[in-house]
Amino acid sequence: MEGGSVVIGIHGLANKPPEDEKARWWKTAIREGLARNGAAPERDFDFAFVYWADLRHDTPLDDARNREPYAAADGLGALPRYDPERDAGRTSLTGRLYHRFGRLQAALGVTPLDDVLLEFRLDDLWNYHQDADFRNAARARLIDRLRRHAGRRILLAAHSMGSIIAYDCLRILERAGEDVRVAHLVTLGAPLGLVEVKAAIEAEHGDARVPGNVLAWTNLTDPADVATVAAALRAEFAPSGRGVLPVDVPVINAYRRPDGEANHHKSYGYLRTPEFSDIVLAFIGGTRRAAAGAPEACARSS
């Protein structure tokens, strides 16, 4: 197995463009962020991509049906970094409702808010929990990729539902005693804090904790992203035996569709945030621009 470091990405819910195109756009978005946010326009890195949309959708999206293609962000210079004073009111209405009633769901053992989100907004995730064949096939693709890169330093970037697949796979590999380690797990727009998702984790894995084969975990979330209404993972996941806890970092996902409508959940928007650029630059090696709010785990994982 070749040495060095590799960035592995796994996409989130819904149908996608063809695999090679989607992988190319992910890497392009990461490189755009490095160029605009970190003054590292020439930095390259090994990148591998885990694609599972074809397990749920017969035909990938073509240009005519893709409402959210990759396009470079508007303007020049660094993209907006989350400012706690300026952006404190960014939480969506759904998020405010969830924070009010989410604990009540857990206490009562009924989850009407989660049911609506999973079945109607996060349909692929609903099916992931209901369809064992789909679930096992999606997991197999990521597990195979992680095994192929065992022995290398891995940054695993998992978007949306991909974060749940990633978490499950890491717990499975840990339980099997396999020597696969992830230097830095970065979850992007992750619904891991939903009551039903956490209950499924506990039912399969016994407890909700940081996998022991993860050396650092950063959870990037836009408070306006409906998928992250239960976003504070540090309070939901116990530390690993190594003492690793999730580091929750708010960001601004500034992605806009060609018609100008915002999508605060889009992968490309997360991948080019200054906070993610900080993590990648620290991981691949380079001068890391000091920035308020950047997680210390970034530097430790490098």
Domains of the chain: which residue ranges? 5-60+75-301
Q: Count other C-beta atoms under 10 Å from residue 221's C-beta.
A: 29
For helices 132-148 and 161-175, give the axis angle rounded to 10 degrees.
70
Q: Count other C-beta atoms under 10 Å from residue 52's C-beta.
A: 24
Closest by alpha carbon to 154, among 23, 287, 25, 284? 284
Closest by alpha carbon to 138, among 170, 171, 165, 167? 165
126 vs 295: which has the higher pLDDT: 126
Measured between alpha carbons, how far apart are the two ends of the chain, in Å? 20
- Quick one: what percent of the chain has pLDDT higher than 90? 69
Question: From residue 231, how far is each of 5, 28, 195, 250, 280 by CA, in Å?
Answer: 28, 27, 11, 9, 22
Question: Confidence class of residue 29 from pLDDT cuts 50, 70 and 90?
Answer: very high
Class of domain 5-60+75-301: alpha beta
- For residue range 92-123, list pLDDT tens digits in order: 544 444 454 445 444 444 444 444 444 445 56
pTM of the model: 0.87
Q: Is the pLDDT of residue 26 over 50?
A: yes
- For residue range 116-135, list pLDDT tens digits in order: 444 445 567 778 988 999 99
